[in-house]
Every structure is written in structure tokens, then in C-alpha cells.
Amino acid sequence: MTLFLFISCNNSGKDGNASANSADESVKGPNLTEISKKITESNAVVLAVKEVETLLASIDELATKAIGKKIGNNGLEANQSKNTSLLSGAYAISDLIAEKLNVLKNEELKEKIDTAKQCSTEFTNKLKSEHAVLGLDNLTDDNAQRAILKKHANKDKGAAELEKLFKAVENLSKAAQDTLKNAVKELT
């Protein structure tokens, strides 16, 4: 009887903890807390990038539909060479894009975020540097298009920088989506 007690008392795992043997540790699944954190962080980045994409799309909409227009009885009507306020709005949106990109933090996407930030800064700075033309009361349709219309033949007032920003944000969006997909895959 004494021998039985001795064997049963010495049957526990390390430091008296029966659940701490190596067989139990190898059966453990993925660390759900870490994976959940990765998914949450990745999703936040995806949503922030989507917001930037929406802001960029609004500049594109202004460029394609509002340059040289005013509101009339039947919707938009021609109003040539009155685009200063429209470009001011595009500039304000570009400033907001820069703010949104500056708060993005993700180690896996650092390079893509930095590229998008740089392109955003270049676009905003180009609009500022062209203020002598873009700030005129009678800003021509052509100069407004050269500033914010990506498909214009001459993009010397900012459209070239805007096009680079679109591509950088598109690349960032794809990378953010991939990061989120990879985080979700860790669950399986």
C-alpha cells in the first residue's frame, strides 16, 4: 500500500502541474489571441486605406465631372474658366489624404505606406508650387485638368503626381488585403 501512494504521488508533470507535460504542449492549436490581434490590426489598415481610396476617387470625380461646370436648373451647366474653388477643394482633399496616411502604422506594410505618403506629399506640394496659375480667379479648364485629371495629355500641374499617388494607394490596398488574408489563414 505504501508503494502505491509513492507511485501515484510522483505521477504529476513538472513542478506538480499535471497539464504541463510536453505532449500537451505539442497538441496546442494556434495562439488565438495573437491571431485575433493581427486580424484586427490588418482590418483597421484595410479600412483606413479604403477611406484614402474613397478620398482619391472624389478628386477623380471632381476632375471628370465638375471642371468647367456650375450648378444650373437642370443640373450641371458649362461655366468655363471658373475652377479656383474646385481646385481648392481638391487641395483640401489631398491634405486630408496626407493626414490619413500619416496615422497608418503597420510594420509589414511600412514600405508601401511610406511610398503612398511620399506620393501624397509630392501631389500636395505640386499643387502648392503651381499656386500662381492654379490660384487665379479665372483658372482655365485646361489648367485645372492638368492639375487633377489623370487622363489629360499634359499633366504638368499635378496630374502626374496624382496618378503616382493613385498607383501607390492601389499597391498599398492590395498589400493590406493580402496581409489580412494571411492573418485569417493562420486560423486554419
- pLDDT for residue 30: 78
Cα gap 75→59, rounded to integer Å: 19
C-alpha cell recorded at residue 144: 485645372
> Beta strand pairing status for 75-78 and 69-72?
antiparallel
- pLDDT for residue 145: 98
In the chain, domain spans: 31-185
Q: Look at the block and give the residue holding cell 501631389.
A: 123
Cα gap 84→13, rounded to integer Å: 77
Q: Cα separations (Å) of 65 from 68, 85, 92, 127, 141?
A: 9, 14, 18, 20, 12
Beta carbons within 8 Å of 74's beta carbon, 6+ residues apart: none
Taking only the tens place, the pLDDT of each residue in 86-117 is 999 999 999 999 999 999 999 999 999 999 99
The CATH class of the 31-185 domain is mainly alpha
Please list the pLDDT of the chain residue by residue as tens digits (188 residues): 444 444 445 455 555 555 554 555 555 777 888 989 999 999 999 999 999 999 999 999 999 999 999 999 999 999 999 999 999 999 999 999 999 999 999 999 999 999 999 999 999 999 999 999 999 999 999 999 999 999 999 999 999 999 999 999 999 999 999 999 999 998 87
CB-CB contact of 157 with 130 (8 Å): yes
- pLDDT for residue 17: 53
Cα gap 6→128, rounded to integer Å: 84
68: left (phi over 0), alpha (psi -120 to 50) or beta: left
C-alpha cell recorded at residue 133: 496659375
Q: How many whole angstroms from its chain centre is CA 91?
A: 18
